Amino acid sequence: MAKPPRKPSTSTSLIHHPYQPPATFAAPQIGVHKASTVLFTDTAAMRARDWKHKTGYTYGLHGTPTTFTLEERIATLEGGLQTLLLPSGLAAITLVDMALLGSGDEVLIPDNAYNPSKELARHELARFGIVHRLYDPMDPASVAAAITPAARLLWIEPPGSVTMEFPDVPALVQAARARGVLVALDNTWGAGLAFDAFELGADISMQALTKYPSGGGDLLMGAVTTRDEALHQRLKMTHMRMGFGVGANDAEAVLRSLPSLSLRYEAQDRAGRELARWWTQRPEVAQVLHPALEGSPGHDHWKRIAGAAAGLFSVRFDERYGLAQVDAFVDALRLFGIGYSWAGPMSLAVPYDLKLLRPAARGALVRFSIGLESVDDLIADCEQALATLTTSR
């Protein structure tokens, strides 16, 4: 007589549970799907599954319903066809460099670029025999001159991270295209809303989802979007071999923020311009750097390709105020947090010593990121903090 099947122990039955996802639970917002292991019904199904073309799920690192959905949403936002997700914006830059460059190759980076991108080039890329050249993004002729036969990749960042110069993107793309050099555009500032990177001729649009797409100031993530399947596969294979993945909770948080992306971008754009204009009237100020302001470097370039702007600008103080005075002004701000990053709900301010950013420049600069507070409150805060400002001489 056959023995009845052995009843598994509690620990075993807690793991081999009979749960099935509810088939008709069609909530519009995607759930948090967490996995390293994804089970196959049998070995034939395991062998048939093709992660490279997303025919199904194979392993958490290769994607889950949550990350596949976010990839699709970011590709749509960017006007691209494929997106890869990475654990930070900087990791997204790293992926592009590592996937497309090898020993003896050259990469061109704007001299006002997000500094960690230059640091990566100075250290890891240099160690792997990759040469980087810094170019002046406001001088397309200097770019053309810097492109050698070894050049493989040109980075464009509109506008420069802290100094806010807006380059002539089509001219830079043209210079690269003419020499068969791939173009990667850091689209963190534009967020896929201010202009279309692919319409401008970029091959790759990279974004720190940490900023506008998250909008919460509470997570880190990067995206690399393309329109060309072969280029996507080159990036994807390196992405897989280097083991870049993102957490499901973070991916879901970005998905939850995306529906309000354009509203937040517009609100912060409006508030940023209002505050920037207010600063132009102040006697303490030498220059307000905001691409949408007449007279700001590259304003005409911005006007030609973009309608909108991020809520981000910098104020260069008159040289009668030294770095210590400007630091004291920042310390006196009550609503602005002192901290890096941007596009979150809280406005932020960071002081910079200009000579560390640009060898030829002098003085102190404060980079403001405008959050979602009332503009009147932010202006009043700047006003009271300015009242504490004393000159150094």
Residues that bind ligand PLP (CB under 6 A): 88-90, 114, 157, 161, 186, 188, 208, 210-211, 220, 222, 341
Nearer to ligand PLP, 190 or 321 (CB): 190
Nearer to ligand PLP, 83 or 88 (CB): 88
Residue 229 Cβ vs ligand PLP, minimum distance, rounded to whole Å: 25
Nearest residue to ligand PLP, by Cβ distance, number only? 89
Residue 264 Cβ vs ligand PLP, minimum distance, rounded to whole Å: 16
Choose among 109, 106, 81, 85: nearest CA to 95: 85
Nearer to ligand PLP, 80 or 344 (CB): 344
Nearer to ligand PLP, 210 or 325 (CB): 210
Residue 89 Cβ vs ligand PLP, minimum distance, rounded to whole Å: 2
Nearer to ligand PLP, 210 or 238 (CB): 210
Nearer to ligand PLP, 25 or 340 (CB): 340
Nearer to ligand PLP, 82 or 161 (CB): 161
Choose among 135, 142, 150, 380: nearest CA to 275: 380
Question: How far does the chain reach from its first CA to its final CA, in angstroms?
Answer: 102
Residue 337 Cβ vs ligand PLP, minimum distance, rounded to whole Å: 16
Residue 182 Cβ vs ligand PLP, minimum distance, rounded to whole Å: 18
Bridge-based pairing state of the strands 364-369 and 312-317: antiparallel
Residue 174 Cβ vs ligand PLP, minimum distance, rounded to whole Å: 22
Nearer to ligand PLP, 184 or 385 (CB): 184
Residue 165 Cβ vs ligand PLP, minimum distance, rounded to whole Å: 13
Residue 343 Cβ vs ligand PLP, minimum distance, rounded to whole Å: 9
List, as own/partner pairs, every contact residues 175-179 make where C-beta atoms lie below 8 angstroms and the sequence separation is at least 24, other chains included: 175/140, 175/143, 175/144, 175/147, 176/108, 176/143, 176/147, 177/201, 178/144, 179/147, 179/151
Nearer to ligand PLP, 176 or 208 (CB): 208
Residue 220 Cβ vs ligand PLP, minimum distance, rounded to whole Å: 5
